[in-house]
Amino acid sequence: MCRTQGLAETLSQLGYTDVLMVPCSILRERFDPAHFERTWFLSREEEGVGIGVGLLATGSRPILLIQNSGLGNSINALSSLATAYEIPLVVGLTMRGDDVEENPAQIPIGLSTVGIIEAMGCYSELLTSLDQLTDAFMKAEDEAKRRKRPAFVLIPRESQLAH
């Protein structure tokens, strides 16, 4: 479980108005979406890409929160919509397939997440400490705007973070 009490507060303080998320075992019990104007619970990750792009077009500031296991589901939407049309969508990606993963089906995506992001020409930063939350998301937003494409903050489980 990732200690995410500060994640919702941080994202809200940074001005994100909408959180778009697929239910996530890492965030499930510790992420309070009440900090946002609107919360969108998605059935599939690529829905969040489309909704996020639409919200950005209306002047809202969405944040997409998905597991890296869902990154595979959203590659086409990210590449053919957000990247192709230069949309600076910020994505928080909770990490599965790590050294403490109990589900072997998650290992391949854990090993390939950064490579997939790089193949799309997108920026990513792996959190190593909760003290980095604000800086990591600010930098991701700056990089998304500079590169005119999505940017990712990789959020490991709490056991993988320095305290």
Write the pLDDT tens digit of every residue in 56-112. 999 999 999 999 999 999 999 999 999 999 999 999 999 999 888 899 999 999 999
99-104: long-range contacts at Cβ-Cβ below 8 A with a sequence spacing of 24 or more? 99/160, 100/157, 100/159, 100/160
102-110: long-range contacts at Cβ-Cβ below 8 A with a sequence spacing of 24 or more? 106/69, 109/68, 109/69, 109/71, 109/72, 110/68
How high is the mean pLDDT of the chain? 91
Q: What percent of the chain has pLDDT over 70?
A: 93
pTM of the model: 0.93
pLDDT at 110: 93
Instruction: Please name each of the domains of the chain with its CATH number.
Output: 5-90+106-160 (3.40.50.970)
HSE of 118, CA atoms in CB hemisphere, 13 A: 5
Q: What angle do CA 51, 12, 57 make, to 5 degrees?
A: 30
Span 5-22, mean pLDDT? Answer: 92
Closest CA to 23 of 49, 43, 3, 51: 43
Residue 59: partners with Cβ closer than 8 Å, 6 or more residues away? none
pLDDT at 160: 62
pLDDT at 28 over 90: no
Span 106-126, mean pLDDT? Answer: 96
pLDDT at 162: 57
pLDDT at 25: 79
32 — pLDDT class (breaks 50, 70, 90)? confident
